Amino acid sequence: MPDFSPWLAQHPAAQHPDAKARIRIATARLPNVLEREVVACQKTLEQKISDQGPNHMRVDPHLLGLAIQELTAERRILTKYKHSSTHRINWYANARTLTDDVHQKLDKVAPLYAQVAIGDFGNFLGDALEVIVFKTLRALNQSTPRYTFNGAFDLTGPRTKENRYRKIEPPQVISGHETKYRADFILYGFESGPLCIECKNYREWIYPHHEIISNLIVTAAEMRTTPLLIARRIHYTTITNFLKPAGILAHETYYQYYPAEYQDLAKQAKHKRSLGFSDIRATEEPEPRTLKFFQTDLPKVVDDAAERFKRNRDNLLEYAREDINLAQLYTAIDSPAGGKWLEPEDL
């Protein structure tokens, strides 16, 4: 059998030798993982293959996605399933696995996935990370009073009818500069000006083309602030090729947070033979590395980032408003990937 199907061999994202090597690792690991799991969605496979295991055996999600398509559509080694509770979400199993075994497992994990990944629970996920950042900013202010912030949660008062904490939102106007968007927090106290903080408690890795980056650019630029993105995982090319040269600050949490009262649900989703989301933390308390980022690391880099963002602001707004593409932006901001970017449909 050829190494890759003609479709994958010609795919732009599979032309680099390192990418080919990673795809080969994924095509080898996928059947082994699914032998244990019986059936799994792509987010579980990403947790098992992109986030876990020895570093030399990990495969980034966009390459893992190619390997899944290769084994499903091209080689027919994997079979794709649907479940009524998760609608359009694809589930994967080895082709030789008995259908009855697949459906027996699906009937357990698909409703759980629907509960944690589809519908209103996403609001609670967003709140969970924001509460942690709120507590982090509060600790920062207590230790160094010159750092003040807008955006706060009432953690002791009555909750909303949906049982969410009530939030006092930050302003949409700073020194006369207005935006129609709303940051999660505004942090003050730096000589270079305030920070516009966006928190995203997503399972997915953030790639350069993700819309949340464009939205953050517009919000920060219109208020004349410096943007800071906080997310579970941000792909290294996003940081190296986009965020850093653009002047956009970033912090990876490495965890997906659940509200503290959802310990039981977190335990179910974390179980290695369930969804396997082992990085879930049902807590409202900041991790030490997040505290360190705000208290020690951020003050060292914020002024340089602010200068770069100010210098690149017009080009970044052109990109966010789709007047130029990512390759053109990379050239404009002197990115290491200037002129070398693959469009998202080529990934």
Query: Are 152 and 85 in a shared domain?
Result: no
Count of residues making up the chain: 347
Q: How far is CA 69 from CA 46, 105, 125, in A?
A: 14, 22, 29
Question: Which residue among 73, 105, 137 closes a domain?
Answer: 105
Q: Does 210 map to a domain?
A: yes
Question: Which of 105, 135, 151 is at the close of a domain?
Answer: 105
Asked if residue 112 is part of any domain, the answer here is no
Stretch 225-253: mean pLDDT, rounded? 98
The pair of three-digit structure tokens given for residue 281, joined into one six-digit string: 């933390």
Domain hosting residue 281, numbered range: 121-339
**Average pLDDT, rounded, for the chain:** 95
Q: What is the pLDDT of residues 154-191, one digit of tens each?
A: 999 999 999 999 999 999 999 999 999 999 999 999 99
pLDDT at 346 (0 to 100): 45
- Residue 1, in any domain of the structure: no
Looking at the DSSP bridge assignments, the partners of residue 251 are: 230
- Residues 189 and 53 placed together within one structural domain of the fold: no
Question: Which pLDDT does position 13 carry in this prediction?
Answer: 87
Q: Give the pLDDT band of residue 342 (cuts 50, 70, 90).
A: low
The CATH number for 45's domain is: 1.10.10.10
- 223 close to 196: Cβ distance less than 8 angstroms: yes
Rounded to whole angstroms, the Cα distance separating 2 from 233 reads: 34
User: pLDDT at position 171, please?
Assistant: 97
In a domain, 199, yes or no: yes
Question: What is the rounded CA–CA span in Å between residue 278 and residue 50?
Answer: 13
User: Are 132 and 76 found together in one domain?
Assistant: no
pLDDT (0 to 100) of residue 340: 59
What percentage of the chain carries pLDDT values higher than 70?
97
- Alpha helices in the chain, H assignment, sequence order: 6-9, 17-37, 42-46, 61-69, 99-117, 121-143, 211-222, 236-237, 244-246, 263-270, 288-292, 298-320, 326-332
Same domain, 45 and 136: no
pLDDT at 156: 95
Inter-residue contact 23 to 67 (CB < 8 Å) = yes
77-109 per-position pLDDT tens digit: 999 999 999 999 999 999 999 999 999 999 999
Average pLDDT score over residue span 301-312: 98
Q: Are residues 192 and 219 in the same domain?
A: yes
Q: What is the pLDDT of residues 259-280, one digit of tens each?
A: 999 999 999 999 999 999 999 9
Q: What is the mean pLDDT of residues 296-323?
A: 98
Checking if the pLDDT of 347 tops 50, the result is no
Number of domains in the chain: 2
Q: Which of 15-19, 23-27, 311-315 has the lowest mean pLDDT?
A: 15-19
Query: Would you say residue 344 lies in a domain?
Result: no
| 145 and 86 housed in the same domain | no
Q: Same domain, yes or no, for 187 and 215?
A: yes
Residues 130 and 43 in one domain: no
pLDDT band at 2 (very low <50, low <70, confident <90, very high): low
High-pLDDT (> 90) share of the chain, %: 94
Let me know whether 74 and 167 are in one domain: no
- Whole-number pLDDT of residue 65: 97
Q: Are residues 306 and 223 in the same domain?
A: yes
Domain boundary among 81, 105, 129: 105
Residue 17 falls within a domain, yes or no?
yes
Say whether both 138 and 183 belong to one domain. yes
- Domain co-membership, 182 together with 292: yes
Identify whether 238 is part of a domain.
yes
The per-residue pLDDT for 10 is: 93
User: Is the pTM higher than 0.85?
Assistant: yes
In a domain, 189, yes or no: yes
CB 64 within 8 A of CB 50: yes
